[in-house]
Amino acid sequence: MKKKITYTDEPMGDVRVVHDFLPPPEELAFQEETIKVTLQLSRSSVDFFKKEAQIHNTPYQRMIRHLLDEYTARHTR
């Protein structure tokens, strides 16, 4: 951005107002109710999730939780 921007008072032409279609912040920052459980998993499974979580810069527990949520959503009738 080496070129300097020059502003003018020229007309912009036909302008159309777009209504706000984005959700409000409170809908974006929802927190689903969680419950703590103790679960024993195989070392290979935990190692896999830890490795993938590091690659994607996210907590591995969150990845496991999302996997379980997807599974239950697809198998709930």
Q: Which residue has the tokens 């679960």?
A: 39
Give the CA-trace dihedral at 2, 7, 10, 16, to 10 degrees: 80
H helical segments located in the chain: 25-28, 43-55, 60-75
Q: Identify the domain containing residue 55 by its residue range.
A: 41-77
In a domain, 27, yes or no: no
pLDDT computed for residue 28 by the predictor: 76
pTM given for the model: 0.59
Distance CA 39, CA 49 (A): 15
Per-residue pLDDT tens over the stretch 26-39: 777 777 888 999 99
Per-residue pLDDT band for 41 (boundaries 50, 70, 90) equals very high
Cα–Cα distance between 59 and 53 in angstroms, integer?
6
Instruction: Give the list of residues 6+ apart from residue 44 with CB closer than 8 angstroms, or none.
Output: none
Does residue 3 sit within a domain?
no
- pLDDT digit string, tens, across residues 46-74: 999 999 999 999 999 999 999 999 999 89
Domain count across the chain: 1
